[in-house]
Structure formats: C-alpha cells, structure tokens
Structure 1
Amino acid sequence: MLDVRQLSVNYREVRGLDRISFHIEPGQLVGIIGPNGAGKSTLIKAMLGLIPAASGAVHYCNCPLHQQLQKVAYIPQRSQIDWDFPITVWNVVLMARTRHLGWFRRPGAAAKEIVKAALERVEMYSLRHRRIGELSGGQQQRVFLARALAQQAEIFLLDEPFTGVDAKTERIMLEVFAQLKREGKILLISSHDWGGALNQLDRLLLINRGLIADGSPDRVMTPENLCRAYGTNLQNSLQPDWDNTLFC
C-alpha cells in the first residue's frame, strides 16, 4: 500500500500543501483534480522528495518511499522536459533501464526486448529512430509513457499526462492504465481536465492545498465539494465536457 500521511509543503512563508493524507492499494487508479495552484504537482513532487516537505511522511509497504525510488516511474509535466535535446525515441526509453544496468554496462538482449515491448505497447515502435523533438505532442507523451513502462515499476506517478494529446494517445494511455491496474500496479495521476476519463478512476482526490474530498468520482464531484475547491470562480473553471447535471 502507498500511504501518504499529513504531508505539508511550505513555499517561504506560504503553505502550499496542508496536511494531506490518503492511501492507495495495489491495482487502483487514483486521479488528482483541483484548480490551478491547488498543489497537484506539488503533491507528486513532495511524495518523491523532489521538493522538501515541511511535515508528514510517505511510505510504501511500510518503508519510506524515498528509499525505494527504483520502484517508482514518474512522468513530469511537459513544460519540464527539454524537447530539443537531440535524442531518439529508442534511447529515451532505453534510459529507463540504466538504473537496473548501471551507467557503464551496455544493454543486453533482455533490456532491448523490454524497450521494444514498451514501445509496441504505446504504438511507437515504428518511430523508434525518430528524434523526440520531431514528434507530435501526443507521440512525445506516449514515448515517456513507454519509458515509464520500461522501468517495470510498481508505482506510476503522472503529472498532467493528458495535456495537449490527441484522441488516439488518450485512448492508448487509458488502455495502458487499465492493463497496469490488472497487473496490480499503483497509479496516481493529476489532471485539470479528466473529461470522459473520470469513469476510469477508482478514486478521485479533490484538492486545493488541502484535501477537500476523497472517494469515487460521483461522490467527489458534487456542487458543494467543487465550490469549496474552486470558490466563486467555479463556473469559469469547469471544463465544458463535464456533466452539467452536477451543477444544477
């Protein structure tokens, strides 16, 4: 079980994340939603130790998560990736095996087979020799999902993976997430626009610095909870493909 306990983050004198607690069982897909600046990315980064926590702890199987990062696959927001770096699709995914092989060992047949299978799973093997900067936004996101798959991780943390992707990529990603659930993986995914993908989630975390609601999407996405999260800007913040009956 992935267990987050009373996690808080401070930015100088401002509380960016306030005592958030939840747990995720193996085989669950959990989404994070909230307004801009709510702390969605902060939560994921603090869980990984990429930014310091003011208080709280994150454990996996009763051990600190930061001591088990080899079991975690993380896909950051697109804005944090240098898409101009001269590297091929194949080598981006092959880098996932570096942690297992070490920097000075050449990848063998087994590592190459893992990379090939990951690229085939996201329908990107035919473009394996293409430079990453030459791909569309959706194709780039699929490459980084393949990289996460090649890590053979137990926990998948994805920050805004649906931003700027096409319908094909969204379909492939959701199919991969469903398969990972069947394999008993833990998935925590942030998004500002879940749209029709809401029904794929086992649980949804609604946050705005603190945890406002945690449960099935239909129990979380109520007018009362959304008003607490989005405040007076609720109507301007809602995505047009959300079910309007929620807000009557």
Structure 2
Amino acid sequence: MLEVQQLAVNYRGVCGLDSVSFQVSPGQLVGIIGPNGAGKSTLLKALLGLVPASGGVVHYCTCPLHQQLERVAYIPQRSQIDWDYPITVWNVVMMARTRQSGWFRTPGRAAKEIVKAALERVEIPNLCDRRIGELSGGQQQRVFLARALAQQADLFLFDEPFTGVDKKTEAIMLEVFEELRSQGKILLLSTHEWGQSLNQLDRLLLLNQCLIADGSPQQVMTPENLRQAYGAPLGNPLHQDLETSFFC
C-alpha cells in the first residue's frame, strides 16, 4: 500500500501542497485532477523526492518510498523532456534495465527480450532505431510507456499522460493501465482530461493545494466539490461547463 500522510511543499514561502493525506491499495488506478497550479505535478514529484517536502511522510509497503525508488516508474510531462537529445527509441527503453544490468555492462539477452516485449506491447517495434525527436507526440508517449513497462515496477506515476496524444495512443495506454491494474500494480496519473474517461478510474483525488475530495468519480465530481476546487460559484458558466463535460 502507498501511504501519504500530511505531505506539504512550500516554494520560498508559497504553498505548493498543504497537508495532503491519502492511501492507495494495490490494483487501483487513481486520477489526480484540479485546476492549473493546483499542485498535481508537485504531488507526484514530492512523492519521489524530486521536490523537497516541508512536512509529511510517504511510505510504500511500510517503508519510506525514497528508499525504494527502483520499484517506481515515473513518466513526467512531455514538456519536461529534451526531445532533441540524440537517442534512439531502443536506447530510451533499455535505460529501464540499467539498474539491473549496470551502466557500463552490455545488456544481456533477458534485458533485450524485456525491452522488445515492451515495444511490441505499445505497438512501436518498428521505430526502435528512430531518434525520439523524429516521432509524433503519441509515438513519443508510447516510448516512455514502454520504458515504464520494461522497468517492471510496482508503482507507476504518470504526469499528464494523455496530453498531445492521438486516439490510438490513448486507447493503448488505457489498455495497458487496465492490465497493470489487474496485476496488482498501483497507478497514479494527473490529468486535465474530463468526460466519461474519468469513469474508468477507480478513484479521483481532487486537489487545489489541499485535498478537497477523495473517492469514486461520482462521489468527487459534485457541484460543491467543483466549486471549491475551481473557484466558480454555483450557476457560473465555468462551473456549468465543468459539470457538463463530466455528466453528459
């Protein structure tokens, strides 16, 4: 189980997260939603120690998560990746196996088979010799999904995975998420996506610095919760648009 207790982040006196607490059991797919600047990406980074927490603890299987990062696969937002870096698709995915094989050792047969299987699962084995900067947005996202699969992690963190991808890539990603969930993995993903796709998630965390609501999509996406998160009073056109995009 992933246990987050009173997690807080401050940037030079500005609150990024305020005492956020939740638990996630194996086999759950949890979405993190909220307005821009709500702390969604900050939450994922704070879980991993990529931004310093000013308070709180993060445990996985009763031990501090930062002591077992080899069990975590993290896919950042596409805007945070240097797509001009001269590296091939194959080598990006193979990076997931370096912890096991070592940085200066030639990958063995087992590692190559794992990478090959991951590329095949996301339907891009034909792109293994291409540089990542030559790919479309959807193809690039599939490369990093393949890398996460090749890592064979237990906890998967995805930051805005659906941004800038095509419908086929989105469908592949949702299929993979379901497979990982059925294997007892824990998946956390931040998203701006609304509509019926949210119903495919087990839970939602509605965030705006603090945790406003935690529960099933139907429990979380209520008019009052949306008003608290997005600051739009009841009857405001913005609020109506948010409701319509989910409930219609």
CA displacement, residues 120-172 of structure 1 (integer Å, 9 cap, x when unaligned): 11001111111111110011000000000000000000000000000000000
Q: Distance in 2 between matches of 1:194 and 1:180?
A: 22
Please give the TM-score of this superposition, normalised by the length of structure 1: 0.95
**SS of equivalent residue, structure 1 residue 174:** helix
CA distance in 2, matches of 1:29, 1:185: 8
- After the TM superposition, which segments of 4 or more aligned residues of structure 1 sit over 6 Å from their partners? none
How many pairs were matched up? 245
Residue 64 of structure 1 aligns with an amino acid whose one-letter code is P
Aligned in 2, Cα 1:70/1:5: closer, same or farther, shift over 3 Å? same
Q: Which residue number in structure 1 is paired with residue 37 of structure 2?
A: 37
Report if aligned partners of 1:195, 1:239 keep a CA contact under 8 Å in 2.
no
**Percent identical:** 73
Q: Matched residues in 1 for 2:71 and 2:176: separation?
A: 18
Q: Given that residues 9 and 18 in structure 2 are in contact (C-alpha distance below 8 angstroms), is that contact kept between their aligned partners in structure 1?
A: yes
**Which residue of structure 1 lines up, in the alignment, with residue 133 of structure 2?**
133
Map 1:83-122 onto structure 2 (within 5 A). 83-122=83-122
Shift of 1:232: 2.4
**Partner in structure 1 of residue 147 of structure 2:** 147
User: Do structure 1's residue 170 and structure 2's residue 170 form an aligned pair?
Assistant: yes
Conserved 8 A contact 1:83-1:132: yes
Residue identity in the other structure for 2:109: A
Aligned with 1:172: secondary structure? helix
RMSD: 1.5
Q: Distance in 1 between matches of 2:25 and 2:32?
A: 16
Cα 1:73–1:235, aligned 2, differ >3 Å: closer, same or farther?
farther
Question: CA offsets, 1:160-219, max 9 Å, x none?
Answer: 000000000000000000000011100000001143321210100000000000000011
TM-score by structure 2 length?
0.95
Q: Is the 8 A contact 1:27 1:182 kept in 2?
A: yes
Q: Which residue of 1 aligns with 2:19?
A: 19
Cα deviations across residues 75-133 of structure 1 (Å, max 9, x unaligned)?
Answer: 00011100011111111100110111111111011000000000011001111111111
| Deviation (angstroms), 1:236 | 3.7
Distance 1:244 1:217, change over 3 A: closer
CA 235–144 in structure 1, closer or farther in 2 if over 3 Å, else same: farther
Gaps of 5+ in 1: none
> Which one of the candidate residues 235, 238, 246 is aligned to 1:243?
246
The code of the aligned residue for 1:91 comes to: N
User: What stretches of structure 2 of length at least 5 have no aligned partner?
Assistant: none
